[in-house]
Structure 1
Amino acid sequence: MPNSTSARLQDRAAGALMGAFIGDALALGPHWYYDLDELRATYGDWIDGYTDPQPGRYHAGLKAGQPSQAGVLLELTLRSLVERGAYDEADFCRRMDEDFFPLIDGTPMAGPGGYTSQSIREAWRRRVVEGLPWSQAGGSADTTEAAERVLAIAVRHALDPAALADAVTRNCVLTQTDGTVVAMTVAFGAVLGMLVEGHPLDEDISAKLMLRVKRGELPFHTVTRGKLEAPEPGAAEAPVAGRFPSPDALLGPSCMARAALDPGIRIEPAWKVSLVYGMPCAVYHQFPAAYYLAARFRDDFEAAVLHAVNGGGQNLARAMLTGALVGAQVGLSGIPARFINGLEGGPARVELARQLAAQLAT
């Protein structure tokens, strides 16, 4: 475990990034099995490592340890951040136009990673087919694609909550414009940023986030005071009224963390979190499950990501988001070596993650 404050910060930042890459690749094979009996019949009672996708399934033809398209886009975003030193929207959009969009054709079962998600297909169509500007490329998909790449932006700007929220918002709306999706994605980025800072994912995290709202650092609207108590008569609203009409996306993480740590509430085995919060792809299923697993297994990266994978359904997003949250808590030093050794391009991705992490110390 790194000793200095700066070294621990960088370890957490690199851990968040590698946790996401690992979670993505772990779920590549058993992705989108909504029939859990079929999942168990194919991969056994417990998936404990990287696996090949089956013929005829999502990502068919790829091999164990390779990334899905979510991992490819995370790496594209990460490289932009490393080379530009911060979030540079023009550079990100150029990379999408020049390096990524030529590799896909707007259909689901095509492109790097073996499957192209709805929001990316819509953005490709608007940019390539219709020739619209990026400001008009976003669609209404309610899924986690934006969150899967903006986690790198959240890590880079973890020490500046206002810059984090602004950059995550701007990147998210390039492909997804639904207000609830954007709010929940920004909230996820804000939580991840706090974990990179060193805050625990516990029942107090929402109060800390709300304090940042009150200080005008996070763009959420709120009129309450203290622990969601009624405002004083004549009291002013937060300095920034907020792009998002409600702070509820910031309040949920504490609820999931409290449930995970409450001895009177048990989800056993923990992979059944997918049945409690939902197996589908939407943000309102995926974020709660990731928060729960990351709070319950805050010191155990392996348990967190493997329970995320073994829950079936949209387990790739669940494992990727969980991997980022737990990776930020245990740090790169707390991730078992076997997960990095089995990841395609593992050492190179570690180096890239460390380069971004080093920017936090400058």
Structure 2
Amino acid sequence: MSDAAIQDRAAGSIMGAFIGDALGLGPHWYYDLAVLRRDYGDWITTYTDPKPGRYHSDLKAGKLSQNGILLRLMLASLVARGGYDEADFCRRMDQEIFPLLNGMPVNGPGGYTQQSIRDAWRKRVQQNLPWGQTGGQADTTEGIARTLALAVRYAFQPEELAAAISSNTRLTQIDDTVVTLTVAYGAVLGLLVQGHKLNRSLSGKLMRLSRAGKLPFHTITHTDLQPPQADYPRKSGHFASPDALLTPSYVAAAAVDPDIRIEPAWKVSIVYGMTCAIYHQLPAAYHLSARFPDDFESAVLHAINGGGENQARAMLTGALVGAQVGLSGIPPRFLDGLDESETLQRSAMDLGAKVGAAAAASSAGV
């Protein structure tokens, strides 16, 4: 496994997320698909301007939403510090993001501020609470949107991956189910950056990591799901069950089963749910990433054309498929149309170089 291949997959994951986010800027949050088709035609193929009076209406095609901006902030911190430095990340939030917010939804960088970030802003700025007491109950994917960079950085270090993602997510979202699903997504992404595929065998690999104590998921069953012979108390800090690790392969198996067809593929949004909730977003992203593992364009465009919270769906899908095809496998037109693309690609490659170094150290037993 060459450092160049690892760097390519790592950078592909980061750029795939940025592309998915920007593709959703114009057609974001259309829950009436007839209105979406009226405004953007039968098939959205590229970056688009938001329509007047809708979300992000002051921005132009190719720009990032606030989720993309927060991912960029996380990426900058990781590159500057060499790894996850929570104090540095929080300082950047205090200095670069929170001064631009006022607690209202249609406000702030990217033209819209999600509930979890608004809640954290109120606790941090208005109530003057310390970081660590700023998390709320939002059940959405903002944690994934920024911590996917942590999954890439620590792709070959699952214990560090889980600890960093869990800690960062809890800065804004403290619901245990949300944190569990967020860490599980990161663990999936980490294996894809390593070179694995999102298929029916991936969950088995995640379960082995869990049983080896490298992922903090409580499990007493065997791979073949035979009845456990003994009970073991859940370890402190472990998530209640491994189900979030099992879901990706169940979804992936369904995505390629000839007897289970979602046609056209954008209808995953209807099957799994069009809303913002993490438990609707993840199955759709896993499905599209497993169905189109070598076709970045099809994966992200089906995510976008499904409507609803298509921006998060495309961002999560873009990261997963970007990790499978690599930066070299992303069609150039998506990179060319992305605002500040060259700067973002340099940062993504810089992070990828650190991932490659970590992989080399891991294989050498350092």
TM-score interval, smaller chain: over 0.9
Query: How many angstroms apart in 2 are the aligned matches of 1:312 and 1:92?
Result: 32
Query: How many angstroms apart in 1 are the aligned matches of 2:315 and 2:111?
Result: 17
Whether 1:271 and 2:277 are equivalent positions in the alignment is no
Unaligned runs of 5+ in 2: 358-366
Out of 138, 142, 150, the residue aligned to residue 139 of structure 2 is: 142
Report how many aligned residue pairs link the two structures: 357
Aligned to 1:175: 172
Question: Deviation at 1:206?
Answer: 0.7
Whether 1:254 and 2:242 are equivalent positions in the alignment is no
Contact 1:223 1:237 in 2 (8 A): no
Query: How many angstroms apart in 2 are the aligned matches of 1:96 and 1:242?
Result: 26
Whether 1:327 and 2:315 are equivalent positions in the alignment is no
Instruction: Give the 3-state SS of the residue equivalent to 2:109 in structure 1.
Output: coil
Question: Deviation at 1:228?
Answer: 2.0
Contact 1:143 1:282 in 2 (8 A): yes
Aligned counterparts, 1:48-67, within 5 A: 48-67=45-64
Aligned to 2:363: none
Whether 1:40 and 2:50 are equivalent positions in the alignment is no
Query: How many angstroms apart in 1 are the aligned matches of 2:60 and 2:162?
Result: 36
Aligned counterparts, 1:233-252, within 5 A: 234=230, 240=235, 242-252=237-247
Instruction: Give the 3-state SS of the residue equivalent to 1:29 in structure 2.
Output: coil
Question: Deviation at 1:241?
Answer: 6.0
Question: Deviation at 1:235?
Answer: 6.8
Instruction: Give the 3-state SS of the residue equivalent to 1:113 in structure 2.
Output: helix
Contact 1:221 1:241 in 2 (8 A): no
Aligned counterparts, 1:63-82, within 5 A: 63-82=60-79
Whether 1:347 and 2:331 are equivalent positions in the alignment is no
Question: Deviation at 1:333?
Answer: 0.2
Question: Deviation at 1:242?
Answer: 4.7
Match of 1:353, as an amino acid? A
Whether 1:125 and 2:122 are equivalent positions in the alignment is yes
Aligned to 1:21: 18
Query: How many angstroms apart in 1 are the aligned matches of 2:169 and 2:190?
Result: 16
Aligned to 1:225: 222
Question: Deviation at 1:236?
Answer: 5.2
Out of 203, 206, 212, the residue aligned to residue 206 of structure 1 is: 203
Out of 278, 282, 296, the residue aligned to residue 301 of structure 1 is: 296
Question: Deviation at 1:229?
Answer: 1.7
Instruction: Give the 3-state SS of the residue equivalent to 2:72 in structure 1.
Output: helix
CA deviation vs aligned residue, 1:133-153 (integer Å, no higher than 9, x gap): 111100000000010000001
Contact 1:220 1:241 in 2 (8 A): no
Question: Deviation at 1:243?
Answer: 2.3
Aligned counterparts, 1:96-111, within 5 A: 96-111=93-108
CA deviation vs aligned residue, 1:26-57 (integer Å, no higher than 9, x gap): 01000000000000000000000000001110
Identity over the aligned pairs, expressed in percent? 64
Distance 1:235 1:128, change over 3 A: closer
Instruction: Give the 3-state SS of the residue equivalent to 1:361 in structure 2.
Output: helix
Query: How many angstroms apart in 1 are the aligned matches of 2:28 and 2:346?
Result: 27
Query: How many angstroms apart in 2 are the aligned matches of 1:276 and 1:318?
Result: 13
Contact 1:16 1:323 in 2 (8 A): yes
Whether 1:317 and 2:319 are equivalent positions in the alignment is no
Query: How many angstroms apart in 2 are the aligned matches of 1:12 and 1:76?
Result: 20
Match of 2:203, as an amino acid? S
Query: How many angstroms apart in 2 are the aligned matches of 1:318 and 1:107?
Result: 24
Whether 1:112 and 2:109 are equivalent positions in the alignment is yes
CA deviation vs aligned residue, 1:265-315 (integer Å, no higher than 9, x gap): 110000000000000000000000000000000000000000000000000
Match of 1:215, as an amino acid? A
Aligned to 2:4: 7
CA deviation vs aligned residue, 1:54-94 (integer Å, no higher than 9, x gap): 11100001000000000000000000000000011000000
The alignment yields a C-alpha RMSD, in angstroms, of 1.1
Match of 2:115, as an amino acid? Q
Distance 1:45 1:152, change over 3 A: same
Contact 1:53 1:62 in 2 (8 A): yes
Query: How many angstroms apart in 1 are the aligned matches of 2:231 and 2:136?
Result: 38
